[in-house]
């Protein structure tokens, strides 16, 4: 529980950002079937995590780590009890799982995901 499983990078220009990461690191970005302005990025073979490049219209923070949790509601309660806060309502993405953004006590945005 709490392992980083995904990272989102935000961009003002999705095409420019996707081209940069493709040219420099070989990432393959494709539009999400669930959300406009969101590219799912395969970052390569082997150990590591995949990511996404999304429009800054959704979030302003430059990079957002996503953590896998066993129980979304229990983890949300723990975030609040520890001085953090929910930064939106939990959402269900079919075939993916339940997720929500939270902020730690310093204001850092994190994503929480309970897999399907």
* 100 within 8 A of 90, measured Cβ to Cβ: yes
Which tokens is 56 given?
A: 């800054």
Per the document, the length of the chain is: 116
Q: What is the pLDDT of residue 2?
A: 82
* 68 within 8 A of 113, measured Cβ to Cβ: yes
Q: What is the pLDDT of residue 47?
A: 87
Span 80-100, mean pLDDT?
A: 95
Q: Is 1 helix (H, G, I), strand (E, B) or coil?
A: coil
- Report yes or no on whether pTM surpasses 0.75: yes
Q: CA angle, corner 35, sides to 33 and 39, nearest 5?
A: 75
Residue with tokens 């204001």: 107
58/35 Cα distance (integer angstroms): 10
Domains assigned to the chain: 6-59 (3.10.180.10), 61-116 (3.10.180.10)
Q: What is the pLDDT of residues 49-80, one digit of tens each?
A: 999 999 999 999 999 999 999 999 999 999 99
Which tokens is 11 given?
A: 């961009």
Q: What is the pLDDT of residues 1-57, one digit of tens each?
A: 789 999 999 999 999 999 999 998 899 999 999 999 999 999 998 888 999 999 999
């Amino acid at each position: 529980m709490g392992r980083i499983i995904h990272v989102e990078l935000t961009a003002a220009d999705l095409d420019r950002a996707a081209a940069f990461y493709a040219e420099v690191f070989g990432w393959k970005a494709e539009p999400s079937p669930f959300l406009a302005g969101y590219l799912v990025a395969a970052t390569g073979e082997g150990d590591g995590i995949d990511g996404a490049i999304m429009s800054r219209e959704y979030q302003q923070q430059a990079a957002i780590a996503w953590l896998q949790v066993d129980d979304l509601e229990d983890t949300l309660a723990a975030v609040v009890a520890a001085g953090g806060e929910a930064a939106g309502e939990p959402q269900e993405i079919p075939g993916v799982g339940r997720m929500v953004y939270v902020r730690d006590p310093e204001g850092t945005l994190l994503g929480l995901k309970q897999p399907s």
